[in-house]
Structure 1
């Protein structure tokens, strides 16, 4: 089961519940705001969240983490490069909005790490590093469910900005073309700020072209 929940503080961001249908255990991905609302959803659906997963460390993806971590008593996981953002309010952009934000007690994992449920280890996600929007960008891919939670690396018909701390356009397009668009065509891509899309659909975009004037980057 996948439940998409748009949450808003300064920016609306898609948070996702990725839940095993058998026992209602699962993961919460990118809880960027509205911790109390997300917690109510967990209670209403009787979810057991085993981990909070972060695609990158921008404030609109980590804003509700500290409060939920306190409520749920669960680990928080992200790319090994995430410390550059969650420990630095300038890099995670929260300082620009007058509310400096940092996180502690984060598990930093290397590229290729498999994250599994305790009781159902076959229910898993693979962390794949996709730097470019940020240096710590990562996606979480489930081959069995043909889905990838892609954060702000790629959107429906667009891609993430590279003009903020740690951004790098060359790295971003390498991440998109060499990692995301090499997943099976039927893979659904669930992003932080757009409707769902698929690998097959995004292969129609001019990702491989030198001139990308017709593709406007977002958030």
Structure 2
């Protein structure tokens, strides 16, 4: 059984997830900031990172990418539609806020296609393309383990914002309906911010999904 550690990082408390197996290898999802805290958790639990996976390339999900990548010499996975976003503040959103520095991250090492299955070490992951919050937003489904990392597509009682570059409420709702609400109803969905939820809970109580 896989283990899940969660850190809330950076100015908007972005969820970073560290998924580890029995061999102590781990995947790091959305290391948004505060790399020292990530390093400390890895050291405390004696974990060996083998990859960084990004649900999308907004600034609050990518701030610690280069530090983590270089320290552990591991690849970064990102959807191909956001290939240029890591290095361009006008796309990753950091350029929108004068109080923030411009985030310029090195290119991803591996670009994901719309739908595919990944095998990274012992980890089996289904990639679900869930655009709307951003064009290259993806969710990572660990079907055999009963959970998925869904980024900023769906939150407990809410949905991702769609007023940023290339956002689309129509596409977001289609992604939620077609890719997330069709997952097993008790599957745990881990979002980019806030608390986990399930498809059943959101179908029953999320006001943004009325009529689905």
- Report the TM range for the smaller structure's normalisation: over 0.9
For residues 138-217 of structure 1, the aligned pairs below 5 Å read: 138-204=138-204, 205-206=206-207, 207-209=209-211
Stretches of 4+ aligned residues off by more than 3 angstroms:
none
Paired position in structure 1 for 2:59? 59
Distance (Å, rounded) in 2 between the aligned partners of 1:201 and 1:75: 35
Distance (Å, rounded) in 1 between the aligned partners of 2:180 and 2:17: 19
- Unmatched tracts of structure 2, length 5 or more: none
Distance (Å, rounded) in 2 between the aligned partners of 1:146 and 1:194: 19
Distance (Å, rounded) in 2 between the aligned partners of 1:159 and 1:14: 15
Paired position in structure 2 for 1:101? 103
Distance (Å, rounded) in 1 between the aligned partners of 2:103 and 2:125: 27
Paired position in structure 1 for 2:118? 115
Summarize deviations over 1:168-219 as a string: whole Å, max 9, x none. 0100000000111001111100001110101111111341539xxxxxxxxx
Distance (Å, rounded) in 2 between the aligned partners of 1:191 and 1:109: 20
Distance (Å, rounded) in 2 between the aligned partners of 1:69 and 1:110: 21
Distance (Å, rounded) in 1 between the aligned partners of 2:102 and 2:133: 21
Paired position in structure 1 for 2:72? 72
- Unmatched tracts of structure 1, length 5 or more: 211-219
Summarize deviations over 1:88-147 as a string: whole Å, max 9, x none. 1111111224411122241111122222233x2xx2211111000011110000111110
Distance (Å, rounded) in 2 between the aligned partners of 1:184 and 1:84: 34
Distance (Å, rounded) in 1 between the aligned partners of 2:172 and 2:40: 36
Distance (Å, rounded) in 1 between the aligned partners of 2:72 and 2:201: 37
Paired position in structure 1 for 2:126? 126
Distance (Å, rounded) in 2 between the aligned partners of 1:82 and 1:42: 28
Higher mean alpha-carbon deviation, 187-196 vs 108-117, is at 108-117
Distance (Å, rounded) in 2 between the aligned partners of 1:196 and 1:55: 16
Task: Give the number of the structure whose residues are more often helix, by fraction.
Answer: 2
Distance (Å, rounded) in 2 between the aligned partners of 1:117 and 1:152: 23
The count of aligned residue pairs is: 205
C-alpha RMSD of matched pairs (Å): 1.4
With the length of structure 2 as denominator, give the TM-score of the two structures: 0.92
With the length of structure 1 as denominator, give the TM-score of the two structures: 0.89
